[in-house]
């Protein structure tokens, strides 16, 4: 009798939870999604296909410009670089919701990848070698670009279902796309010209960049109701 007394409230609570989860409303439609993350600022559209499937398409963009200096100020040759990181991508993704009443989802798809890094560098000062001084122009410049595969498959997980419950929904995603190792083009002038063959060395050092992490947080609004 005592065991029955303790089990009865547990069974009732489980049944009540199941009943409540069955009443989670599914609102098929089209949702506008705005987000920000490691792929840049973005905007997209999500379309429900069923209670457990949704299609997403979107665009992501961000540009960052900066400077860096190689070596130390006391080095004979110190090169200052201006660089630009340009993130631009278009994605087509399928979200699968394994639990019909929750926002957890598995995501697969692809990115059209236009990401690239450009740089230009020149000495920060004249260079002295064996009592001979070479001017900045004589030493020369180095410029180049790093580009990636144009189509990059994506896999990830996330939370947020734009078509359950409320029209507004917070969306979070974590994953990566495979953009392969970067392709480096290098142009040098002056005394730096013999270094133009170093592109393969740079490509080898940048191999870890072939897996690009995607972390995104955004907000979805289901603005158009549809029949599915």
d(CA 191, CA 132) in angstroms, rounded, equals: 14
> Distances from the Cα of 137 to the Cαs of 73, 81, 144, in angstroms?
19, 15, 18
pLDDT per position as a tens digit, 78-101: 999 999 999 999 999 999 999 999
CA angle, 85 then 89 then 95, to 5°: 135
Average pLDDT, the chain: 89
Q: Residue 186's Cα: distance from chain center in Å?
A: 26
d(CA 31, CA 199) in angstroms, rounded, equals: 44
pTM: 0.82
pLDDT per position as a tens digit, 128-173: 888 899 999 999 999 999 999 999 999 999 999 999 999 999 999 9
pLDDT at 17 > cutoff 50:
no
**pLDDT at res. 217:** 98
pLDDT per position as a tens digit, 39-70: 999 999 999 999 999 999 999 999 999 999 98
**pLDDT at res. 222:** 97
- Name all domains of the chain by residue range, CATH numbers in brackets: 26-225 (2.40.160.170)
């Amino acid at each position: 009798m005592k065991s029955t007394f303790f089990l009865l409230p547990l069974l009732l609570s489980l049944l009540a939870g199941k009943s409540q989860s069955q009443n989670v409303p599914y609102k098929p439609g089209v949702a506008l999604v705005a987000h920000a993350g490691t792929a840049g600022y973005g905007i997209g559209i999500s379309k429900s296909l069923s209670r457990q499937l949704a299609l997403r398409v979107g665009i992501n963009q961000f540009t960052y410009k900066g400077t860096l200096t190689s070596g130390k100020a006391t080095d004979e040759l110190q090169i200052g670089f201006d660089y630009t990181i340009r993130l631009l991508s278009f994605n087509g993704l399928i979200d699968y919701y394994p639990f019909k009443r929750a926002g957890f989802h598995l995501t697969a798809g692809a990115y059209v990848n236009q990401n690239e890094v450009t740089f230009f560098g020149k000495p920060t000062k004249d260079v002295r070698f064996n009592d001979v001084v070479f001017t900045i122009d004589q030493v020369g410049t180095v410029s180049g670009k790093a580009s990636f595969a144009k189509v990059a498959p994506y896999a990830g997980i996330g939370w947020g279902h734009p078509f359950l419950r409320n029209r507004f929904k917070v969306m979070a995603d974590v994953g990566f796309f495979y953009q392969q190792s970067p392709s480096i083009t290098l142009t040098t002038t002056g005394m730096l010209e013999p270094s133009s063959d170093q592109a393969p060395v740079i490509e080898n050092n940048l191999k870890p960049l072939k897996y690009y992490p995607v972390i995104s947080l955004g907000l979805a609004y289901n603005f158009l109701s549809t029949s599915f």
